[in-house]
Amino acid sequence: MSVAGFVISLERAAARRPQVERILQMCPIPCQRLAAVDGAALSDAELQAVYSPQLFRPHNPFPRSIGNIGCFLSHRRAWQRLLNDGLSAALILEDDVELDPGFKASLDFALKVFRPGDYVQFQVRDIGEGHPCLVSDGYHALVSPVVAPLRTSAQLVTREAAERLLDTSQRIDRPVDAFLQMTWVTGVPIRIVVPSGIHEVSAAVGGSIISSEPRTIRDRFWRGILRPVYRMRIALMSRRHSMLTGVVANGSPSNDHCSHTKS
């Protein structure tokens, strides 16, 4: 099995270069920097070639963000690199994460239990309890959330998942993490390793680059109204998809929960 790591980072994000180097040094597998797609540098023609508003249901209610488009295209670049390099899977990291001492054990666990077609997240936020558990070693657990959480800070992406995601995201209408929630569109199950062994250090490296676009008071007002409605629709469609498939564990139905030690 061939696995490598990629750290996605913008060329112009000079403040993040020390953190990129730190990630590369701490990564427990061979890892290299992957230049991110700069949404701000895309021409109108390039944006129109990949972006279509209201492409999938539920419709994305938020205005187009060039930062989010660039981020999505960066992950597509990583997925394509995975295929081009003939890898079985790739550890794809964003440049605002910190790998904790326990990350190697979490990654080793994921590498032992993942299956072709899986997309395994290492979340930077507590995902809560009650998620169906696929497998556990008594400390780590691989869980299958009904509603995939947002964030693409760190993930182990299998070759088969990358192929499917590239095929279904040739045109996009929302951020990459919101797209990944729509497993009924992608056909790619989202798994999560807990504990993850990572945390976010965005504030320490200059804050978010994606969300740095200015928003008016009116924008913030409407987002406050539309966000919970959109999330409710995603949750409903996620639950419906889960009920229709009746599958949480690579083809094996399960309602079991297994214990794990929280980080």
- pLDDT tens column, 45-70: 999 999 999 999 999 999 899 999 99
The string of DSSP letters for 189-209 reads -EEEEES--EEE-GGGGTS-S
Q: Is residue 161 part of a domain?
A: yes
Q: Rounded CA gap, 99 and 220, in Å? A: 33
The overall average pLDDT reported for the chain is 91
Residue with token string 């990944």: 180
Q: Is residue 69 part of a domain?
A: yes
Answer yes or no: are the C-beta atoms of 151 and 125 closer than 8 Å. yes
Q: Is residue 225 part of a domain?
A: yes
Q: Is residue 250 part of a domain?
A: no
Q: What is the pLDDT of residue 211?
A: 54
Pairing of strands 89-94, 141-143: unpaired
Q: What is the mean pLDDT of residues 66-88?
A: 98
97-101, 123-127, 214-218, 233-237: which range is least confident on average? 214-218
Q: In total, how many domains does the chain have?
A: 1
Burial letters 70-79, b for 16+ CB under 10 A, else e:
bbbbbbbbbb
Q: Rounded CA gap, 129 and 259, in Å? A: 10
- Residue 161's Cβ-side half-sphere holds a number of Cα atoms within 13 Å equal to 26
Q: Is residue 259 part of a domain?
A: no
Q: Any idea what the CATH number is for the domain that residue 52 is in?
A: 3.90.550
Q: Is residue 20 part of a domain?
A: yes
Answer yes or no: are the C-beta atoms of 145 and 88 closer than 8 Å. no
Percent of the chain with pLDDT over 70: 90
Q: Is residue 261 part of a domain?
A: no
Q: What is the pLDDT of residue 218?
A: 79
